[in-house]
Amino acid sequence: MHEMSLAMGILQIVEDAARAQSFRRVRSVFVEIGELSAVEPAAIRFCFDAVIAGTLAEGAVLNVVEVAGEGLCFNCHQTVPLAARYDPCPACGGYPVQATGGTEMRVKELEVE
């Protein structure tokens, strides 16, 4: 389950930001999760709640913003919506479609006090 290491990565970002901006509490964390990132929003929430216990982020809410997948079709050279990696191009039915968007997870914003 790679969500646990991702959750620890989120906590690391929060703690670094806390040091840099000297805030004491985090109310909520906004993360973008790409449709093609293979990250389960429910799993990352669960892991996040586990890793923030006893830290300055304890009790913080993890808000997940899902980002749609996007790819570039090598057959028709269009940028197309992509629901899953290795899907055929929805425009022309061709292959391959290289994933170009919605492939990662990143921390977008922190709400602090």
Tell the residue number behind the tokens 């997940």, with chain if given. 64
In angstroms, give the least distance from the CB of 77 to Zn ion. Answer: 7
Name the residue nearer to Zn ion (CB basis): 9 or 90: 90
Name the residue nearer to Zn ion (CB basis): 45 or 85: 85
In angstroms, give the least distance from the CB of 75 to Zn ion. Answer: 5
Half-sphere CA count of 57, side-chain side, radius 13 A: 25
Binding-site ranges for Zn ion (CB under 5 A): 73, 75-76, 89, 91-92, 94
Q: Give the CA angle between residues 100, 106, 112 to the nearest 5°.
A: 155
Element (H, E) at 63: strand 61-67
Closest CA to 109 of 17, 8, 5, 3: 17
In angstroms, give the least distance from the CB of 38 to Zn ion. Answer: 23
In angstroms, give the least distance from the CB of 70 to Zn ion. Answer: 13
Residue type, 55: T
Name the residue nearer to Zn ion (CB basis): 28 or 78: 78
Name the residue nearer to Zn ion (CB basis): 12 or 98: 98
